[in-house]
Structure 1
């Protein structure tokens, strides 16, 4: 590269992909892995697990590197508690695998599948392609048999690692040894009641028979680790076992997992010392919060999910929120007024990208807008500012045809409503569900006769100038904008295009407040020129006493 010449922009995705390549074995497919337990709605914080891995795998695919995004569903984990709103009788299932707990809503085969499906749909909309693995299927099919037997035979080594990382000091006499089953690394699900409330009673190394007792139902039984597949490795052993089995080259973790003594740091020791595979490349990622919620749908008032976010955010914008920041950085996704600013910022970045400029911000836009597998993600063929669509939605009561007509008149020509999608539907949903009633725009159904009767001479002149300038034909945004801002100028003997004086600026504030009072019974509202075009000359005249 010539002196002074800059190379292509690099970001955290570039660096993580480089790191994954360094960990990969030469000539083999690179495995980037994510994992999640489908114990409840997968909220926007959990979504970072999926998207972080996706962006790294996608970068490798863009380079032509053989890569897979492996996602492991921890659906063989235990059901821990009954959440609010669920029949309390579901407490009977606590301790059973998530895949064995019935769906209380009766729309899916199990509790686990109830929460997998909506996320799958959202990820498809987000352009995330991944190879899914069910731990239930893997364990029950005996896929991990050899790995389980290896872990059990190295249980003393495992306990020594775990003991070093425990936050509480372990008394030397209580530390598990080969003969102590208190911390046996494999936990059976009880053959009689299906729960994991079992403790190991004895283990025969030669036959691999594990005897156990169940504290829930009192059952005592024996499971053979070689031929019967009735349980799973404990979590801190399961995770590194999976890294070794799948040859995982990159897997990030939430910052809570990345702390000293966590399952992640313990796993890094175990994958090398017990399973004899190198630890994967990784980094910790920060918390994602949310704000500005008024009503959520699929999460029933709880933490918002990807499906909730996609009701108001275009898929590339939701992707952009995650890819533009360093993963360690925490942030909130705001569903309130911030959504309008977010769309404005995204549209401005799109114009910058279209101009041919290349920097890290534009690179984030590229990663958010398209993937190596899915190509360009769907966006509206005609880009109308979100603030315009939401304002027009408010004053038209959500009529798509009316919105389409008005949008054309405010300078965004299009041939059909379909050319405004998906942004139009998202603007309509945001206005309906996320704008508080007190902030909604409600157009008057009849003139405020009392206020009209009490107009001052100056106010009468302002309205007269406005109505005479509107005419009776369909309204266009530019001349209406010029007129609305120009009425106070005309009233002071100035031309429409004259620079506003301090007196004119003061008059404009009073005039605008008057119009809002008479049109929408408020002191402020949508941008006045847009509001007037949306209402049309005839309705404006009726409400202003013309």
Structure 2
């Protein structure tokens, strides 16, 4: 049984899946795992015939915690202020919108369509008001829960609400001095004394209380979250106790997902700069592949993402799966993976990516590439073709290993080969000249026969052919590679070596 199906199969009644993030920096592939895991659970519920909703919470009232490596030092003055109140790095709009909007655009292309809820607006509209009243009323019980489960002692002046200073705008620099009639009195390090109205966005709950409060307010029944929240004594453990004992609401079904590691660099995290922004991923990866990367692996296992050759291997793996799906030759688990990898468009309209990474290094004309694909019997949607060509070019330029990059040698470019190698090439050229059709399989068979006749090892023979054609000892699959180059061009190149 597919992992998403096994998680939800026994559930009864209407379900609400929730995910969320603080838009404190570039939202990357690691962040995508949370919301795509939520989307996979949501769609698994629908596939299993269950009524379900899917929400995404943008925690835009969270404070800026520090000046991250990607920010200028001028942001030091904004540390402690809600992200929604800070100017964007671009100078246009707010900090939270600057990082959130590209992420929401990325979700649209991934066919992820949750109801987007901004936490700051929940506070502004008074949705937290009654909960905050109860939290303050039960503050001693909540203190005991937090200290007992987390094993950490809270400060004597701890209060379960953080007012926002009306002068400096910070949430992390105020100390509560009193509470009366929905107003929290405070003093701030900036010297200001004031009051915050708990029915407005004048402050916020601490995270370990805010999270279970959102479960109650929004009626959440399932939530995936990272392992940092799922440790013993972590925020899920304290949240579960608070929501059930204080708010009298059942804790949502948890799903702890593992991290995504960037090959050779470690776990992705916005604050460390070890990440690939979501928009960057989608500039070279078809959305189906991003979904497949998440769908194929149980959420409880880590993913190592290799944007170089490993990415092409994943593409090939996915192509094989989709071919099996079209032929109705998949297992039940494979069918679920294929279905949940789709991104709202027929996948048969997406051209072969690996093939394109070769074509874009030979031809600059999109029209010519389209002609080649059509000659191979592959009619393509023009918009999807252009989009995927652009993706392949970005991958080649930014992520392809040097050994995978090439440019065709000119017909008369010099090359250093010995006599045995020359004879093998001439035999290969002769065979190519007599082919009745310029097809990948026939071209590859000619190469194999000529190398075999020469007594050379296959690997050595192919190295010679690639060296003559592109100056490297490795290259794209030879038959497919030569089949998309005009036969006359290939024969002319070998003719300069063999003579008449």
Output the CA distance in 2 between the equivalents of 1:479 and 1:241.
Answer: 66
Number of the residue aligned with 1:500: none
Number of the residue aligned with 1:186: 161
- Kindly tell me: are residues 292 and 134 of structure 1, through their superposed partners in 2, closer, same or farther at Cα, counting changes over 3 Å? same
Within the alignment, does 1:327 sit opposite 2:299 as a pair?
Answer: yes
Number of the residue aligned with 1:96: 81
The correspondence of residues 96-115 of structure 1 with structure 2, limited to 5 A, is 96-107=81-92, 109-115=93-99
Q: CA deviation at 1:231?
A: 0.6
* TM-score normalised to structure 2 length: 0.89
- Kindly tell me: are residues 157 and 479 of structure 1, through their superposed partners in 2, closer, same or farther at Cα, counting changes over 3 Å? same
Within the alignment, does 1:534 sit opposite 2:499 as a pair?
Answer: no
Match 1:35 to one of 7, 20, 33: 20
Output the CA distance in 2 between the equivalents of 1:265 and 1:164.
Answer: 11
- Kindly tell me: are residues 264 and 534 of structure 1, through their superposed partners in 2, closer, same or farther at Cα, counting changes over 3 Å? same
Within the alignment, does 1:461 sit opposite 2:435 as a pair?
Answer: no
Kept in 1, the 8 Å contact 2:175–2:188? The answer is no
RMSD: 2.9
Q: CA deviation at 1:355?
A: 3.0
Kept in 2, the 8 Å contact 1:250–1:282? The answer is yes
Number of the residue aligned with 1:5: none
- Kindly tell me: are residues 208 and 419 of structure 1, through their superposed partners in 2, closer, same or farther at Cα, counting changes over 3 Å? closer
Q: CA deviation at 1:201?
A: 4.3
Number of the residue aligned with 1:426: 391
Output the CA distance in 2 between the equivalents of 1:368 and 1:542.
Answer: 45
Within the alignment, does 1:524 sit opposite 2:474 as a pair?
Answer: yes
* TM-score normalised to structure 1 length: 0.82
Q: CA deviation at 1:378?
A: 4.5
Match 1:387 to one of 354, 361, 365: 354
Kept in 2, the 8 Å contact 1:299–1:305? The answer is no
Output the CA distance in 1 between the equivalents of 2:336 and 2:380.
Answer: 32
Kept in 1, the 8 Å contact 2:56–2:116? The answer is yes
The correspondence of residues 243-322 of structure 1 with structure 2, limited to 5 A, is 243-291=215-263, 302-322=274-294
Number of the residue aligned with 1:196: 171
SS in 2 for 1:31: strand
Kept in 2, the 8 Å contact 1:54–1:69? The answer is yes
- Kindly tell me: are residues 459 and 43 of structure 1, through their superposed partners in 2, closer, same or farther at Cα, counting changes over 3 Å? closer
Number of the residue aligned with 1:210: 184
CA displacement, residues 99-157 of structure 1 (integer Å, 9 cap, x when unaligned): 000002134x2000011111111111111111111111111222211111111111011
Number of the residue aligned with 1:166: 150
Output the CA distance in 2 between the equivalents of 1:419 and 1:223.
Answer: 52
Number of the residue aligned with 2:367: 401
Task: Report which of the two structures shows the higher radius of gyration computed on alpha carbons.
Answer: 1
Query: How many correspondences in the alignment?
Result: 491
- Kindly tell me: are residues 408 and 488 of structure 1, through their superposed partners in 2, closer, same or farther at Cα, counting changes over 3 Å? farther
Kept in 2, the 8 Å contact 1:406–1:533? The answer is no
Q: CA deviation at 1:380?
A: 4.6
Match 1:233 to one of 205, 221, 227: 205
Match 2:405 to one of 440, 446, 456: 440
- Kindly tell me: are residues 261 and 237 of structure 1, through their superposed partners in 2, closer, same or farther at Cα, counting changes over 3 Å? same
CA displacement, residues 6-26 of structure 1 (integer Å, 9 cap, x when unaligned): xxxx3221233235x34x5xx
Q: CA deviation at 1:299?
A: 11
- Kindly tell me: are residues 377 and 413 of structure 1, through their superposed partners in 2, closer, same or farther at Cα, counting changes over 3 Å? closer
Kept in 1, the 8 Å contact 2:463–2:473? The answer is yes
Q: CA deviation at 1:363?
A: 1.8
Number of the residue aligned with 1:82: 67
187-196 or 332-341, which moves further after superposition? Answer: 332-341
Q: CA deviation at 1:418?
A: 5.1
Number of the residue aligned with 1:223: 196
Output the CA distance in 1 between the equivalents of 2:393 and 2:347.
Answer: 16
Number of the residue aligned with 2:448: 485
Number of the residue aligned with 1:122: 106
Q: CA deviation at 1:478?
A: 3.5
SS in 2 for 1:395: coil
Q: CA deviation at 1:196?
A: 1.2
- Kindly tell me: are residues 277 and 538 of structure 1, through their superposed partners in 2, closer, same or farther at Cα, counting changes over 3 Å? same
SS in 2 for 1:41: coil
441-450 or 277-286, which moves further after superposition? Answer: 441-450
Within the alignment, does 1:18 sit opposite 2:2 as a pair?
Answer: no
Kept in 1, the 8 Å contact 2:89–2:98? The answer is no
